[in-house]
Chains A and B, each alone.
Chain A
Amino acid sequence: MIKLRDVHVDLGGRTIVRGIDFSVAAGEVLALVGPNGSGKTTLLRSIAGQNGLASGSVEATAPLGYMPQDNGAAARLSVLEALLIGRHEMIGFRVRRSDRAAALDALSEFGLTDLAGERLDRLSGGQRQLVYLAQTMMRNPRSLLLDEPTSALDLSNQLLVLDTLRTLARSRGLSVIIAVHDLALAARVADTLAVLDRGRLAALGTPTEVLRPELLATVYGVVADVLCEPGLPVGMRLRDRLPNPAGSPSHR
């Protein structure tokens, strides 16, 4: 369970996140969406305990796994070594067979078994992102925070990752928050969408409830049709950009 109550976050003398309230139950996936600069990363960092709160409270079931947006330096490590670092708090100097098995399991969950012996600094950006995702899972998290986990991935891998996360959330009872830009992907993976706009919660609900043409116009400044067909995830057909959208930098 992850529970946020009236969370405010200040950075550099400015209030970046204001009065956020929501909770994510065990087994639930919440997608955090919103335009650039709306406070998604700041909020995730605050839940992860890396930014202090100005006020409000955050509760998250431990252990907590957090994957930052940064793809990290390309260290001269094998993929298996990179995964074992994810368990550094639990493993001793000598790696046990069980730790190695856990690393291989995490790799197989994201289709990376063949990369186990490869060097991290020789992988593509997308492969590295998958490795870091598997590394985050090595902590056996009960609460999982992922900042743009699919930004460097191709379409097929985006679906693989999001479907895997959804399955893991259900099977292991994880509470998952994913910050993403792609609304169609967010609608596909999430039980709940939380839309941030200039640090405030603009909407919270199921993808069908939240993704409305009015919200897209107000928050993103775009004219779009929302496609809701039975048995299919919510989709969008973008028509135009509003001349002076509410969410554009000129309004901030």
Chain B
Amino acid sequence: MRALTGLPPQAGIGLAIALLVCTVVVDIASGPAGLPLRAVLVALSGAGEATDRFIVVQFRLPVALMAVVVGACLGLAGATMQTVLDNPLASPFTMGLAAAAGVGASVAMLFGGPASGLFGTAAGAAIACLIASGLIYTLGRARGMGQAVMTLTGITLMFFFQSIQALLQYSASQESLQRIVHWLFGDLQRATWPGVAMVAIVFLFGLKHLMLDAWRLTALRLGDARAQALGVPVASLRQKALAVVSLLTAAAVCLVGTIAFIGLVAPHIARGVVGEDHRLLLPMSAICGAALLSAGSVLAKSIIPGIVLPISVVTALIGVPFLLFLLLRGDHSGT
């Protein structure tokens, strides 16, 4: 297939994977403990001092891998949302899904009792995400809803879920409030191996199901009428894709909190390199999301030496200028 940007798509994907590997290595090698690279490599091989091994294997490695899987989930979810909603500004964050997941997770933490552990929080986030997706889908089917109105609808939903979140916090006990606020900050440092495994499983599940629909999602980019004429079941494809997006968002958000802009920015970078053939766009968006969040994780540890900033602060610093660039360049065609 001919390259769309001068760089052949395969070379672009290769370059993105190489960048991802580099950021993951730097992410594992950096941290407040100030371990030298040699000690990190020795610890990774299973040798070296027990303290170093503990820091690297039980702390840095899960954080680095969590950045990869969460970034991949958000990139994949963002690309899918931008296609099915035909909106270049759609992402789990801008369309209110992340806020909904936050509400779901908070409800699980407050009222879940014994179910408020890892999977209870994830289930709460997933249910709230599915409800928000259903709302977006239903409103998106309303006659005459254009991209601008849909974006405003997403922002409205985000405010709605944020106000429910505020209400929950207002009525929460001191202990629960502290837990929720800490969670909402968006923090990779709470990563654990079971959490990484759970997000990785949801990501692989979502990727598999979306890749099976890759041709149909590409056809959707030619407009509903043409996709329908080519035999694409447009309505059921949208429902299925949004359900998968909900799971991806819930898995990403329920463990590390709300992380903005990765789902918005990654698909645009991927589209610029591989075009809109979803066989390439979906995995490339996941790789770009993973690389961006991994780079964000490195930045979070590097901006103020000795202190790890919440990842959501760093991604906002990257995402806000990009969002402004998208809005100001005047081309909202999604390409």
Question: Which among A81, A86, A139 has the greatest number of chain B C-beta atoms within 10 A?
Answer: A81
Query: In the complex, which residue of chain A has the Cβ closest to the Cβ of B232?
Result: A88
Residue with the greatest number of chain A CB neighbours at <10 A, chosen from B214, B230, B271: B230
Interface residues of A, CB < 8 Å — how many?
A: 32
CB B285 to nearest CB in A, in angstroms, measures 14
Residues of A within 8 A of B2 (CB): 78, 80, 116-117
Those of A46-61 within 8 Å (CB) of chain B:
48, 50
- A3 at interface, CB cutoff 8 A: no
Complex formed: what's the CA distance from A89 to B216 in Å?
A: 9
Does A240 sit at the interface, judged by CB under 8 A? no
B231 touches A89 (CB 8 A): yes
Binds A, one of B274-282, B286-294, B297-305: B274-282
Contact B211 A93 (CB under 8 A): yes
Q: A214: CB under 8 A from chain B? A: no
Chain B residues closer than 8 Å to A77, beta-carbon distance: 218, 221, 275-277
Asked if A121 is at the interface of the complex by the 8 Å CB criterion, the answer is yes
A82 and B222 contact, Cβ closer than 8 Å, known pairs A68-B229, A76-B4, A88-B215: yes
For B149-182 the 0/1 string (1 means CB < 8 A from A) is: 0000000000000000000000000000000000
A89: chain B residues within 8 A (beta carbon): 231
B334: which A residues are within 8 A, CB to CB? 73
Our pick among B225, B228, B335 for the contact of A74 (Cβ within 8 Å) is B335
- List of B residues within 8 angstroms of A70 by Cβ: 223, 225-226
Chain A CB within 8 A of B27 CB: no
Chain A residues lying within 8 Å of B328, measured Cβ to Cβ, are none
Interface string of A60-102 (1 = CB under 8 A from B): 0000001111101111111011101110110101000000000
Complex Cα gap A77–B83 (Å): 14
Q: Which of A50, A70, A75 has the most CB of B within 10 A?
A: A75
Q: How far is the CA of A93 from the CA of B231 in the complex (A)?
A: 17
Bound CA span A121–B275, Å: 11
When chains A and B are docked, how far (Å) is the Cα of A58 from the Cα of B307?
Answer: 71
Contact with A along B200-244 (1 / 0, CB 8 A): 000000000001001110110111011011111000000000000
Q: How far is the CA of A39 from the CA of B266 in the complex (A)?
A: 45
How far in angstroms is the closest Cβ of chain A from B164?
35
Q: Which residue of B lies closest to A78 (CB)?
A: B2
- Give A189 to B245 CA distance when docked, in angstroms: 48
Cα(A89)–Cα(B219), bound, Å: 11
Residues of B within 8 Å of A81, CB to CB, are 1, 218, 275, 277
Q: Give Cα A85 to B228, complex, Å.
A: 12
B216 near A75: Cβ-Cβ < 8 Å = no
Contact of B223 among A72, A117, A119, A121 (CB under 8 A): A72
> CB distance B276 to A76 under 8 Å?
yes
Hey, which chain A residues are within 8 Å of B230, CB to CB? 85-86, 88, 135, 139
- Asked if B86 CB lies within 8 Å of chain A CBs, one says yes
Bound complex: CA A41 to CA B289 (Å): 43
For the complex of A and B, the 3 pairs showing the least CB-CB separation, nearest first, are A88-B215, A117-B2, A75-B221
A sample of 15 cross-chain residue pairs with beta-carbon separation below 8 angstroms, ordered by A number, consists of A73-B334, A74-B333, A76-B221, A76-B335, A81-B1, A82-B222, A85-B222, A88-B216, A88-B218, A88-B219, A88-B232, A93-B214, A119-B4, A136-B229, A139-B231
B interface residues, Cβ below 8 angstroms from A: 1-2, 4, 86, 211, 214-216, 218-219, 221-223, 225-226, 228-232, 271, 275-277, 279, 333-335
Chain A interfacial positions (CB closer than 8 Å to B): 48, 50, 66-70, 72-78, 80-82, 84-86, 88-89, 91, 93, 116-117, 119, 121, 132, 135-136, 139
Other than the known A85-B230, A132-B226, what 10 A-B pairs have Cβ atoms closer than 8 Å? A68-B226, A68-B229, A70-B226, A72-B223, A73-B221, A73-B333, A76-B271, A85-B215, A88-B230, A91-B215
